[in-house]
Structure 1
Amino acid sequence: MSSTYLDIRSLRAFVLTVETGSLTEASRRMGRTQSAVTQQIQKLEQIIGRPLFDDTRRALELSETGTVFLSHARQILGSHDECLARFAPTAAEEKVVFGVPDLYATFLLPPILSAFRRDYPHIRIELRCALSRPLVARVREGSVDIALVTRMDGFTGGQVVGREQLVWLTGATSSAHLEDPVPMALLPPGNIYRDYAIEALDRAGRNWRIACVSDSISGLQTAVLSGIAVTVLIESALVPGVRQPPAQAGFPTLPSVDLLLYRSATEQSSPAVETLHRYLLNHLSLTGGR
């Protein structure tokens, strides 16, 4: 084996390619071109002297060497990111205003923010839960330091840090998904979850009606849990008490949505903002959202 070092970016490119199953998706999440990601993986193969992927298969499939190497790559990346998080400059008693829709605050962020709190007990996070569009506006005006939002039409800037699959959700004992028209619990107009739900139902020729409109996920959950409506949320929201409608119910397939991480340009000098932004970027990029 060559005595040269293993580059962290190359390791991350390899792991993301495996986890997403796509060079295109890995390059999108890393903010690099597909050719650059391919070159990084080829660099790893040159270092270890063996192919990481099975060239005889059309799909990306790990070789025997790649399977073993993947375990080591994940361990190295985990140690690397933990070290950065542990020894990054702390900002004692500094506050970071972090904006996030309550959906992600409930289902995606608790383990990450809990770990951050253990690593940086002197950085105080002030959560601001709101919908994605107003959060992006608040980041740009400087009243929110960092925001994790859903990519929507017209959004510019921000860094893609994950992707979440949208799913139909009905109550565990509910028959709302069998009604005609289908009663829907939706976010207010202008939200991409609402738009995708309505577009999918219209394409499938399904009749629907509004049974609930809520700015918060708790309102949508209440409507679903009580059996009065069906809603569209991320797959991570599939918790006890709710279920996906059975295939025979005929609900169309939904797309996935990108998660964007924004940082206010007015807080570039704040070590606390820099620390939380890097922490979120590392952890969300590694998990792909969930």
Structure 2
Amino acid sequence: MNNYDISSSQQLDSDLLRSFLAVAQAGSVSGGAIHLLRTQSAVSVQLQKLEEIVGQRLFDRHGRGVSLTTHGEHLLPVARRVVNMLDQAVAGMRGSEVRGEIRLGIPEEYSETLLPEILAGFAQERPGARILLRCGSSVEFPAALARGDLDLALHTPETITKNDVVIRRETAVWAGSIFHDAESRRPLPVALFDRACWWRERCLDLLQKSGTDYEIVCTSESVAGIRAAIAAGLAIGVLPQSTLTEQIRRLSEPTLPHLGETPLVMSRSLGAQSRLADSLTAIVTKVVRSLGPLD
């Protein structure tokens, strides 16, 4: 049996072991990176460092991902025991860690489709913890994370930073009522957010560049207001494909400008409690992935 000497000059860092466990469980570096809310390159560097410390190759790389080598299989139970003991020690010294609270920001448009399952999963996994929700606009979340007002945010940023982890690319679509054909009217009636944001500006820019004769007939500060205007046949609007309801359909009008895909990312503040943040990140990732492939 192999012995791993952690008393050497290069000691095993717990972060290295956590990365090892995440990748082993996910079966891929990319999957482990999503669970840890880190970039794939950062996790790869940690795995390489761990292999240098133990002096053995721990993973076999192949087209489908990675699998544990014999040495990796030997290290796996050791790593689990070490990480569990560290977590228990921290929980014992800081009881509020496990029973604490986590603040999550989530776009309002996902509050009906994703949020119930996320909350159910969190309640089951962390029954002693509290979750504080902010359902709002993705535009608000980067600043809230930077200020420390949020611990985690699921959002669609204008630009992706090195600390953001893309967990899905969502299809943005023009949406209309299943009972009306507002898309056939000219000027084209459009419903948009009433506040300045990159998504509003993008829609207006695409409409103008396409030469579409349009008119903004409804504005709202909330997705619920936009959705109501669309369902009533007052206007068309833009929504994520996965959030369409029974009253709203995806428009295939060829004259409408193509919207493309929007990255849905998880972001984390520097001060987030690690254990709760890790748990909630894994739950959110699982629920988002359950949406299935893009249409």
Q: Same fold (TM over 0.5)?
A: yes
Q: Which residue of 1 aligns with 2:242?
A: 236
* Corresponding letter in the other structure for 1:221: R
> Structure 1 pair 95/13, CA: closer, same or farther in 2 (3 Å)?
closer
* Corresponding letter in the other structure for 1:194: R
Q: Which residue of 1 aligns with 2:167?
A: 161
Q: Which residue of 2 aligns with 1:226?
A: 232
From 211, 214, 228, the equivalent of 2:217 is 211
Is 1:279 aligned to 2:279, yes or no?
no
Superposed CA RMSD: 3.8
Distance 2:153 2:135 in 1: 10
Q: Could you tell me how far 1:40 is from its partner in structure 2? A: 3.3
**Matched-pair contact (CA < 8 Å) for 2:39–2:163:** no
From 115, 140, 164, the equivalent of 2:146 is 140
* Percent identity between the two aligned chains: 25
Q: Which residue of 1 aligns with 2:267?
A: 262
Q: Which residue of 1 aligns with 2:180?
A: 174
Q: Tell me, what secondary structure is at the counterpart of 1:266?
A: coil
Q: Tell me, what secondary structure is at the counterpart of 1:134?
A: helix
**Matched-pair contact (CA < 8 Å) for 1:194–1:232:** no
Q: Which residue of 2 aligns with 1:23?
A: none
Distance 2:152 2:39 in 1: 19
Q: Tell me, what secondary structure is at the counterpart of 2:27?
A: helix
> Structure 1 pair 191/106, CA: closer, same or farther in 2 (3 Å)?
farther
1:231-271 superposed Cα distances (whole Å, 9 cap, x missing partner): 001001221111122445x2222111111211121234x53
Q: Number of matched residues? A: 233
Q: Which residue of 2 aligns with 1:251?
A: 256
* Normalised TM-score (structure 1): 0.66
* Corresponding letter in the other structure for 2:231: L
1:190-232 superposed Cα distances (whole Å, 9 cap, x missing partner): 4343233223222321111111222211000111111111000
Segments of 5+ residues of structure 1 without an aligned counterpart are 1-6, 17-25, 48-83
Q: Which residue of 2 aligns with 1:55?
A: none
Q: Tell me, what secondary structure is at the counterpart of 1:96?
A: strand
> Structure 1 pair 289/115, CA: closer, same or farther in 2 (3 Å)?
farther
* Corresponding letter in the other structure for 1:40: R
Q: Which residue of 2 aligns with 1:11?
A: 27
**Matched-pair contact (CA < 8 Å) for 1:193–1:232:** no
> Structure 1 pair 223/273, CA: closer, same or farther in 2 (3 Å)?
same
Is 1:32 aligned to 2:40, yes or no?
yes
* Corresponding letter in the other structure for 2:124: R
Q: Tell me, what secondary structure is at the counterpart of 1:233?
A: strand
Distance 2:293 2:102 in 1: 21
Q: Which residue of 1 aligns with 2:10?
A: none
1:145-185 superposed Cα distances (whole Å, 9 cap, x missing partner): 11111121486632222111000101111221111111111
**Matched-pair contact (CA < 8 Å) for 2:38–2:163:** no
Q: Which residue of 1 aligns with 2:62?
A: 41
Distance 2:122 2:250 in 1: 33
Q: Tell me, what secondary structure is at the counterpart of 1:8?
A: helix
Distance 1:170 1:44 in 2: 41
> Structure 1 pair 289/184, CA: closer, same or farther in 2 (3 Å)?
same
* Corresponding letter in the other structure for 2:258: T
Segments of 5+ residues of structure 2 without an aligned counterpart are 1-22, 45-59, 69-83
> Structure 1 pair 282/151, CA: closer, same or farther in 2 (3 Å)?
same
